[in-house]
């Protein structure tokens, strides 16, 4: 995610970066309220994916009462590289 934001800043896309961060923050708050929202991974147990934008999906692991953010995946990249889908 940091790499993505840095790339936007280099291109002068500060407003897009702000919108992306706001969407990410909104989804993380949703995860706090509803930890099992999103689609369950078919590859890794207890991992769920939640869409941030049409190109970015956040993967998290839900175990007991703890949510661990694992990865943010850009869907425009080779889907075979996605460890969680």
Q: How crowded is residue 31: how many other Cβ atoms within 10 Å of its Cβ?
A: 19
The pLDDT value given to residue 74: 81
Q: Is 40 within a domain?
A: yes
The total domain count for the chain is 1
Q: Which residues pair with 58 in a beta bridge?
A: 50, 72
| Residue 31 lies in domain | 2-77
Q: Is 55 within a domain?
A: yes
Q: Tell me, what CATH number does 35's domain have?
A: 3.30.2310.20
Give me the DSSP letters along 24-40: HHHHHHHHHH-TT-SEE
Q: 26-73, pLDDT tens digit by residue?
A: 999 999 999 889 999 988 888 999 999 888 899 999 888 889 999 888
Q: Is 28 exposed, middle or buried (0-12, 13-18, 19+ CB in 10 A)?
A: middle
pTM: 0.78
Q: Is 53 within a domain?
A: yes
Q: 60-85, pLDDT tens digit by residue?
A: 998 888 899 998 888 787 777 777 77
Q: What 8-state DSSP symbol labels residue 80?
A: G
The pLDDT value given to residue 1: 64
Q: At which residue do the structure tokens 């949510």 appear? A: 67
Q: Is 84 within a domain?
A: no
Q: Is 82 within a domain?
A: no
Q: Is 85 within a domain?
A: no
């Amino acid at each position: 995610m940091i790499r993505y934001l840095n790339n936007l800043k280099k291109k002068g896309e500060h407003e897009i970066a702000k919108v992306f961060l706001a969407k990410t923050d909104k989804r993380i708050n949703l995860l706090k309220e509803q930890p099992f929202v999103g689609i369950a991974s078919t590859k890794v147990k207890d991992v769920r994916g939640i869409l941030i934008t049409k190109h970015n999906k956040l993967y998290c692991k839900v175990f007991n009462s703890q949510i661990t953010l694992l990865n943010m995946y850009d869907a425009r990249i080779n889907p075979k590289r996605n460890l969680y889908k």
